[in-house]
Chains A and B, each alone.
Chain A
Amino acid sequence: GAGVSQSPSNKVTEKGKDVELRCDPISGHTALYWYRQRLGQGLEFLIYFQGNSAPDKSGLPSDRFSAERTGESVSTLTIQRTQQEDSAVYLCASSVIASYTDTQYFGPGTRLTVL
């Protein structure tokens, strides 16, 4: 089947605007993760969803960042009032379950540029 997909692949926005990034996980995967990769940095965990449990938001850098997921399907990451430091590649990953032994499958990422 299809892998994890993300849209848009590229997004250029002006400082202060809101953006929405979308992730479609692999069908049947109950766990979904968002990571951020800034230039020259490793991947930074943002948030993850596991089934109907409350999401783990411990990695969100500020209250401008939020994410939603409906059931075990699509997730949307929203960044309000974007800042230049938000420029990064945003990666989504999914796994069958949220277990440390379970492989996370990554999407191609969304490259966000805030001017």
Chain B
Amino acid sequence: AQRVTQPEKLLSVFKGAPVELKCNYSYSGSPELFWYVQYSRQRLQLLLRHISRESIKGFTADLNKGETSFHLKKPFAQEEDSAMYYCALSDHGNTPLVFGKGTRLSVIA
């Protein structure tokens, strides 16, 4: 069965420090991976997805099929990055997303 694991419930970093939010997945095929973000009092929204190979708000994520990981990284954290981050997986033939439990990022000034 498909599964997404985010091992950290809470991650606190200082402003300007690098940040890495971990995501590991369990899936036998070639899934599509996504990162969604929920800022305080806002709705869940797409941050980035593997297929686009983009950088959004300074965040990047690389799919490592050998390690089945899709960690989210940013070299210099900003206070406005504080939010709840969810890693999600989609099977090519099955569009509902499988989500991890989320990691709350707190950037300390």
Answer yes or no: do A and B interact: yes
A-side interface residues toward B, CB under 8 Å? Answer: 3-4, 31, 33, 35, 40-45, 48, 56, 59, 91, 95, 98-109
With both beta carbons as reference points, the residue of chain A lying nearest to B31 in the complex is identified as A100
A1 to chain B, nearest CB (A): 15
Would B46 and A45 count as touching, CB distance under 8 A? no
Chain B residues with CB under 8 Å of A43's CB are 44, 86, 88, 97, 99
B-side interface residues toward A, CB under 8 Å? Answer: 4, 6, 32, 43-46, 49, 51, 86, 88, 90-92, 94-102
Given contact pairs A100-B91, A101-B51, A106-B43, A48 touches B4 in the complex (Cβ within 8 A): no
Most chain A Cβ neighbours within 10 Å, of B49, B51, B95, B98 = B95
27 contacts between A and B (CB under 8 A): A33-B95, A33-B96, A33-B97, A35-B96, A35-B97, A40-B101, A42-B6, A42-B86, A42-B99, A42-B100, A42-B101, A42-B102, A43-B88, A43-B99, A45-B96, A48-B96, A56-B94, A59-B96, A100-B90, A100-B91, A100-B92, A100-B94, A101-B49, A101-B51, A102-B95, A106-B44, A108-B43
CB-based closest 8 A-B pairs: A42-B99, A45-B96, A43-B99, A100-B90, A106-B44, A42-B101, A98-B95, A100-B32
Chain B residues with CB under 8 Å of A109's CB are 43
B64 to chain A, nearest CB (A): 19
Alpha-carbon separation in the docked complex, A33 to B97 (Å): 9
Chain B residues with CB under 8 Å of A91's CB are 44
Would B95 and A99 count as touching, CB distance under 8 A? yes
Would A45 and B97 count as touching, CB distance under 8 A? yes
B10 to chain A, nearest CB (A): 12
Alpha-carbon separation in the docked complex, A6 to B20 (Å): 33
Would A101 and B44 count as touching, CB distance under 8 A? no
Would B32 and A101 count as touching, CB distance under 8 A? yes
A49 to chain B, nearest CB (A): 11
Chain A residues with CB under 8 Å of B101's CB are 40-42
With both beta carbons as reference points, the residue of chain A lying nearest to B36 in the complex is identified as A106
With both beta carbons as reference points, the residue of chain A lying nearest to B95 in the complex is identified as A98
